[in-house]
Homo-oligomer: A and B are copies of this chain.
């Protein structure tokens, strides 16, 4: 019996697999994934968790360090440790990378970035084709939801997003709820379906604008456009969203910052 009440944690086995701080990390991750602690929730204090797990405070901190580094948790000095919420600028722009053309004149990292204006042009249900099934690791023919969004910057359409998710994973997803979401799409995934997008794999290529792209983005058929195929991943690198972004790069760029390990 702990005086502070045990916060849903089980004492770690004396000799589990790997270092102790990784066992502690897995235990915390399990609690977040299970929804026992939801996004925005405060975790028990470090000393309380360490006590419940039966590890030292330093070991527990090392476990939390890793989860903070992967954006699963957020620490605030004097307040506590929280399950990360993905609804602010930082997370929006972590996956939205289109900017006005500007050849390295300004400090790209410091410039004020404009929020895209999002317009949903289609919301349909259907069955996964081969490419969608491969990307989402489901079977061809499985139920999927497809959303087509048009993103505009400064009032001009720049990006067409075709978003595909598995119906199985996103059970209660309705068009109404999708259109009226208060924050970003990834925030909706998190709050409504308990799915946290941690990373994404992307493949980019140049293609000629087809009829539909030309119509939605207002460019001439055959003009070069940038096509970005993205698979968004959650815990365990499980794919949860397949998105094809078609970008008119006539006066905008697709921006990325490479660093650190892959």
State the A residues within 8 Å of B (CB): 69-71, 90, 93-95, 99, 101, 103-105, 108-109, 131, 134-135, 198-208, 224-226, 229, 231, 239, 242, 247, 249, 252-262
Contact B134 A105 (CB under 8 A): yes
Contact A208 B224 (CB under 8 A): yes
Contact A90 B262 (CB under 8 A): yes
Using Cβ atoms and an 8 Å threshold, which residues of chain B touch A229? 103-104, 253
What is the CA–CA distance of A101 and B254 in the complex, to the nearest angstrom? Answer: 20
What is the CA–CA distance of A11 and B239 in the complex, to the nearest angstrom? Answer: 50
Contact B204 A253 (CB under 8 A): yes
Contacts known (A261-B71, A261-B90, A262-B109); A256 close to B204, Cβ less than 8 A: yes
What is the CA–CA distance of A206 and B202 in the complex, to the nearest angstrom? Answer: 16
Kindly list 16 other residue pairs between chains A and B, CB separation below 8 angstroms, not including A69-B260, A226-B226.
A70-B259, A94-B261, A103-B134, A103-B229, A104-B135, A109-B262, A199-B258, A201-B257, A202-B257, A203-B253, A204-B255, A205-B254, A206-B225, A206-B247, A256-B256, A256-B258
Chain A contact residues, majority secondary structure: strand
What is the CA–CA distance of A94 and B134 in the complex, to the nearest angstrom? Answer: 25
Give 12 A-B contacts (CB < 8 Å), ordered by A residue. Answer: A71-B260, A103-B135, A104-B203, A109-B262, A198-B259, A200-B259, A202-B255, A204-B256, A205-B226, A205-B252, A206-B225, A226-B226
Using Cβ atoms and an 8 Å threshold, which residues of chain B touch A108? 201
Minimum distance in angstroms from A112 CB to a CB of chain B: 15
Minimum distance in angstroms from A164 CB to a CB of chain B: 12
Contact B206 A249 (CB under 8 A): yes
Using Cβ atoms and an 8 Å threshold, which residues of chain B touch A198? 259
Using Cβ atoms and an 8 Å threshold, which residues of chain B touch A242? 104
Contact A207 B231 (CB under 8 A): no
Most buried by B among A201, A205, A260: A205
Using Cβ atoms and an 8 Å threshold, which residues of chain B touch A135? 103-104
Contact A201 B104 (CB under 8 A): yes
Using Cβ atoms and an 8 Å threshold, which residues of chain B touch A134? 103-105
